[in-house]
Structures are given as structure tokens and as C-alpha cells.
Structure 1
Amino acid sequence: MTEKNFTGAKILVVGGAGFVGSNLVRLLREQRPARIVIVDNLLSADISNVPAGDDIDFRFGSIADDAILEKLPGDLDYVVHLACYHGNQSSIADPLADHANNTLTTLKLFERLKGMTSLRKVVYAAAGCAVAEKTFDGASATKEDAPVSLFHDSPYSISKLIGEMYGNYYFTRHKLPFVKARFQNVYGPGEILGAGRWRGTVHTVWRNVTPTFVWKALHGEALPVENGGIATRDFIFVEDMARGLMACALNGEPGEIYNLASGVETTIRELAESVNALAGNSTPLALTPARDWDRSGQRFGDPAKAAEKLGFTACVAHRDGLEKTIVWTRDNRDRILGCMMQHARYVPQVKAYER
């Protein structure tokens, strides 16, 4: 493994105003890069996540916009592509929007980057859920070389795989230094419920399971646990994910895939019980039916390759990460509620949180 850093580098973070992107930008700045260009259309992000500073160059818009692409610096050192149409439920509601914001964005970005000789690495946020076995019968850790099915549960899953395939093509055809970082379930401070524009479903507000559970627990509500809570996920703290992306950029081998995972399997019921205990919520869980679209109910990633090849290991224990997330949510309640209230006409129950 080669030890390097980002000092003096020119970095593009696509989706840098989002949950993971903003945490990544914060850690990158600690290494004093020369410039961080953030491109984000704020579809699922909030402008408050964009820091001020002479080293930050924020450009509002989609990376699929020709005007945005044309004006990108021609001497970038690193690119981290995090933009996506978040997440599965919204993609099911509007597959065309998913295509425009997941698939087309990736293809046009790679087409713009091909031939940029200054590039050291292009890191793509791939999805672990797209390759996980479809099972509720007990999961094995998903490895990087897991077989890929042609049958998928959501357009989001399909588009994330297409992104990998396009990256592989540009790597083999144009020598784009492309590295795939396969995400697991990221959680932690900075994930703002309701951030961005309405995307057609209540999941514009109620995003990933952890921030939803934390918010509801802090307000004394019953946490909605589907299918008895038997589904499992690999929860990785957002700062660990950011460090993993940095490791991919510095030490990843072009053309390779790396799981960024904790390697720990946690049931949704265990998550709910932990959040309630830490938040002091005594309201019983609300058991609800299984989601009819989700067949990959139990899954977690194998972190061995990333540890060996990148020197990356997730280090924040789940309970510690949940405690940090709960504290951050309490401290940022008004900021979060302001974003949620943007969608009150579609999700009127959010008005109940005003006081």
C-alpha cells in the first residue's frame, strides 16, 4: 500500500453537498487540497452542507448539464462521483428520473473525463445492494466478485450497476483510472430528512432507516419495523465511509472493486431497539408488513479486500455511531425540520413536529 495524501490536489466531488459528500469534503479539507470543486443540483441535498472557503468552488447544477461539464477544470487530480437519485423507493416511483440522475449523469461525466491526463483516480459510488444475494434465509458476507443477477428490485439498483459497467468500459477503452467503491448502509451526522426537492414519494422525507428511526424515537413515536425486523444490513458510519473513499482514491487499483463495509450484520429490529434505548424512547415498536419490492432482505459486506489492499477498516462501533447521530439530530432539529416542512403539502404529518 502506498501512503499518500491530498495536499495540493485539485478534486471534483460530484454530489458534494449530500450526506456522504459533505462529510467527505470536510475530511478532504483537513489535508489542504488546492481546490475542491463541488457539483450538486441539490435534488436531495441542502445548500447548508456546502462550506465556505477559498478552497471550495461550488457549482449548482447537474453533472449531466453540458454547460457544467464544459466548464470543469481540465487538470483535475481526483474525482469522486457520489451523485445519484436517492433511493430505491423514489426510483420505483419514477424510473425516468432515476435514469436521468443516475445513469445519464455517470455516462456523461465519464465521457467528459476520458483523455484527461492529469487524473490519478476516479472513484465511483457503487451499491452493495445491487450484488447482494436475494434472501431472507440467512446472509453470507457479500464479496466483491459476487455474481450479478439480471433481475433487480429497483431502477436504482439497475442504474448503479450500469454505472459500474460504463466505468469498466472507459477503463478498458480509454484508460480512465476508475475505481469502484461498493457502499453498504451509511448512517451518521449530516443526513438531513427532507433535504432537497420533492421526489414523488414520502421517502423524500423519510430517507434511510437510521435517520428516520432516530427522528421518530426522539419524538416519542413508535418505530415502524417491517416484517418483524428480520431484515439485516451492514451499517457503516459516515466518517468511516469518507475515509474509505479517500483510501480508494489514494490506494485503489484502477479497474478494481472494494467493499466499504463494517462487515457486521445487524437486524432492523436490533437497530430499532438500540435507537430507542439510546434516545430514551419507551414507545413499543410498530410492526408492519414486509416491503413488497425488496427481495434482498438480509445482507452485509465482506471488508477483507479493502483491509488488505487499501489499508481501510471501519473503526466506529455501531453503538458509538448511533450515539453521535442522536446528539447531532438533537442539535440540528430546527435545521432538519425546516427541510422536512418543505414537503408538508405532500406529507402533511410533518406539521405535527412544529412547536
Structure 2
Amino acid sequence: MKVLVTGGAGFIGSCFVRMALGADDPLSATAVTVLDSLTYAGNRENLAPVEGDGRLTFAHGDIRDAALVDALTPGHDAVVHFAAESHVDRSIAGAAAFVSTNVGGTQTLLDAALRHGTGTFLHVSTDEVYGSLAEGSWTEDHPLLPNSPYSASKASSDLIALAYHRTHGLDVRVTRCSNNYGPYQFPEKVVPLFTTRLLTGGDVPLYGDGSNVRDWLHVEDHCRALFAVLRDGRPGEVYNVGGGTELTNRQLTERLLDACGARWDRVRFVADRKGHDLRYSVDSAKARGELGWRPLHTFETGLAHTVAWYRENRAWWEPLRERVAAVAH
């Protein structure tokens, strides 16, 4: 299989590429082309473990560049679309880049896939498109009720992708995952942000009273679900992918403090985020039943390994701290 991976130098995309080209060879990949604009969160070093693989080609460019996308798409059996602006706080500060990239960029890719007869278009989305719920879990047919500019742009791209299936017959498959964690995650996200600050003696900012609930999924388990959707998923279908570990942000903070040998005096409570969704929870029964997928990492083991990775790979994340500071202001 020849695969075009957008955003393949980012956190989840690079994990997908490393696994696709790994010893297990889940896709029987004969070629993997990564298209990434290398914005602040994209990092070629995320691909270092497979950089010497002859099957890998890297293209530096933007998914909104129609000419470039049109040149890269022919000959690929599948497009796996990760590329997106993804940080909620930055979307609140300025939504334009999120609409342009997440909506317009997705449409550019869909047009190219349709024009060149690409076999499968796998659109990687988020549970945030569903909004917030107090109890229960979302199934794939739940209405989309996004609350931030980021999640609204992702919901829009979901709908556009599915419309290309219904209108043109393009084999589009959509996944919606819960919060990911693991190695190589840019340290603006909560797990690497808290971990790297704690490891360097700093404090950590906890929104509100820390009662917001998220479901946590190891990035490798997420990518294993994507491989399963590519192999066995059905055109036009949506698949929820959740880790099954729901924690309040306060509980997550407590686990990170323990893992880093720190105490609660390192926690700084800050004003809550605007429109902060209270709780996310997806029902993954469809992916488990149809695809035989299930997470392999327990949260306890996965988090311990993740913190250990950041402890042992300071040379990877220390240069990125300036980028975090730059985009936070």
C-alpha cells in the first residue's frame, strides 16, 4: 500500500508513520509520503527513527497548496489526513488559521483524492466535535455540537469529508478519538507541558477547580485503530476511538505529580478557559465490534512510560520550550 500522510511530522501523524514503517508492518506499506508544513508543532526529528527507510518520502508544504497537493496525490492508495491546527486556546485567541487549514485544507485534499481516484481517504478527527456531556458516552450518530473554534472547524471538516462520500462516492472514513498522550507530543498539551515543567522545577497551571473530565488514549493505541479502519473499515462510516480511562484534570495532575516526584505546592490554579467543555466520553463499541480493536496500553503503564520518555529525552523537548512560550503570548 502507498500512503500519503498529511501532518506526518506531528505528534500522532509521526507515530502512525513510525509504526507503518516498523517491524510489524501493519499496512504492508511499499511507500509512505509525508506532507507537513512544519509549523511550530511539526518536527522532522519526530521521524528520525525511520528517516533512513527507503520507503519514506518527505514533502515540505501546506495542505492548502492545491498545486502541491495535486502533484503529490497520484499513485497513492490512501490518504491519511492528520494535518490540522489543534490547540483550543489558540483557536479562542484567533480562529482564522483554524478555519483556513482545517476546513479549506481538507477540501483541497478531498478534491485531489477525487480527481486522482485515491482508494481511501481516512479523515482523523476528535471527540471534541460532539461538545460536552454530563453522563453517558457519545456514539457515532450523536449530533455534532462543538463549543470552540477548533472543534467547530474539525466538525466542519468531518461533514465536508462525509459529503464527498455521499455526493461523489469517494471512500471516506472518519475517526474521532479521545485525548492522546505519549512520546513526541509537543509540550503545549497538558501531559507533556506538566511533565516538562515538573522535571525542570517549575509549577503547572490547572484550569478552574480541575473538575473537567477527559478520556485518555495512548497514541500507539490510536494508531492501531487507524490501521484497523484502513484495513477493515467501511466507506462512509465514522468510528469512535477512546481509551476508556476517564480522569478529571485534577486526577491527571495528581498522577503526573506522583510520576515526577512532585507535590501539590507545584500546582497553580488559574482562571478557567472560555467555553471549557466539562466532559468528553466516546463509546468505542463500534470499533471494538467491527474491527476487533482494543487498547493494549493501560493508562498507568502508558503514563509511566511517557514520563520516563520525557525524562530521558530532554534533548528533544528542551529546544521546543521557546516555541511553546512564543505561541502562548
How big is each residue's C-alpha offset from its partner over 1:55-109, in whole Å with a ceiling of 9 and x where there is no partner?
1110001111123112114221121100001221112222111122111110010
Deviation at 1:342, TM superposition (A): 4.3
Contact 2:73 2:116 in 1 (8 A): no
Instruction: Give the 3 Å change call, closer, same or farther, for CA 109–265 of structure 1 in structure 2.
Output: same
How big is each residue's C-alpha offset from its partner over 1:207-226, in whole Å with a ceiling of 9 and x where there is no partner?
22111111122223333222
Cα distance in 1 for residues equivalent to 2:118 and 2:42:
29
The equivalent residue for 1:38 is 34
Name whichever structure is richer in helix by fraction.
Answer: 2
Greater Cα offset, 326-335 or 233-242? 326-335
Cα distance in 1 for residues equivalent to 2:9 and 2:73:
19
How big is each residue's C-alpha offset from its partner over 1:15-58, in whole Å with a ceiling of 9 and x where there is no partner?
00000001000111121511000000011211212331211110
AA in 2 matched with 1:29: L
Cα distance in 2 for residues equivalent to 1:315 and 1:339:
30
The equivalent residue for 1:144 is 140
Q: Give the total of aligned pairs.
A: 320
Cα distance in 2 for residues equivalent to 1:238 and 1:148:
24
Matches within 5 A, 1:53-64: 53-64=53-64
Matches within 5 A, 1:117-128: 117-119=117-119, 121-128=120-127
The reply to whether residue 291 of structure 1 matches residue 283 of structure 2 is no
Contact 2:69 2:112 in 1 (8 A): yes
How big is each residue's C-alpha offset from its partner over 1:252-303, in whole Å with a ceiling of 9 and x where there is no partner?
1111111111122111111011111111112423223322221x21121111
The equivalent residue for 1:12 is 4
Contact 1:231 1:267 in 2 (8 A): yes
Contact 1:141 1:263 in 2 (8 A): no
Matches within 5 A, 1:174-323: 174-193=168-187, 207-284=188-265, 285-294=267-276, 296-323=277-304
The reply to whether residue 92 of structure 1 matches residue 86 of structure 2 is no
Cα distance in 1 for residues equivalent to 2:140 and 2:78:
23
What are structure 1's unaligned runs of at least 5 residues?
1-8, 194-206, 349-355
Report runs of 4+ in structure 1 exceeding 3 Å deviation. Answer: 115-118, 342-348
Alignment RMSD: 1.8
Instruction: State the percentage of identical aligned residues.
Output: 29
Deviation at 1:118, TM superposition (A): 4.9
AA in 2 matched with 1:218: L
Deviation at 1:115, TM superposition (A): 4.3
How big is each residue's C-alpha offset from its partner over 1:166-221, in whole Å with a ceiling of 9 and x where there is no partner?
1111101211110110021011001132xxxxxxxxxxxxx221111111222233
Instruction: Give the 3 Å change call, closer, same or farther, for CA 288–166 of structure 1 in structure 2.
Output: same
The equivalent residue for 1:338 is 319
Structure 1 residue matching 2:125: 3-state secondary structure: strand
